[in-house]
Amino acid sequence: TRTPVRADGFKYTGKGKLPRPTLSFSNLLGTITSILQLTNQITPFSDLSGAKVTRRRTLSRFLDATNFPSSVNPFGTPDPSAELPREVYFIERKVVENRNVVQFEMVGSFDLFGIAAPKKLVTRADFPGVGTFVNA
């Protein structure tokens, strides 16, 4: 089932503060409220807190023709495998829930409450210099 979604606030400002984007879902038929009720039966009072959200982006020239009004991509040849680096966020809290909209605030992995930076294991696949020593 398709439902209208809006995502805002992904811009990095460079002032030391990480972005805290919001994800807003239409709730006109109570669909999102129903999902939250089912989730809270399994994990009480979670409201999807901690759920992983992956932002995938690409350039318009790589989109399929069905994404354009004339069913022709005027910018280039579609390539479903072309994408910019993925951004991973986690739902921090539910901001608003009413009969029209359900809105969540998201945070990056370094901004999670109770998680410190050394939590991530760095391997050679992430950083080729791991485990090597240079004698000066």
What are the pLDDT tens digits along the chain (136 aa)? 788 999 999 888 777 778 899 999 999 889 999 999 998 898 888 888 889 999 999 999 899 988 888 888 898 888 989 999 999 999 999 999 999 999 999 998 766 555 555 556 667 777 777 766 666 5
Distance of CA 22 to the CA centre of its chain: 9
Q: Are the CB atoms for 61 and 70 separated by under 8 Å?
A: no
**CA 9 to CA 19: how far, in whole Å?**
6
Show the tokens assigned to 4.
């209208």
**CA 85 to CA 135: how far, in whole Å?**
34
Question: What is the pTM for the complete model shown?
Answer: 0.71
Distance of CA 18 to the CA centre of its chain: 14
Output the pLDDT for position 95: 94
Q: Phi, psi at residue 33, to the nearest 5°?
A: -60, -40
Q: Are the CB atoms for 74 and 68 separated by under 8 Å?
A: yes
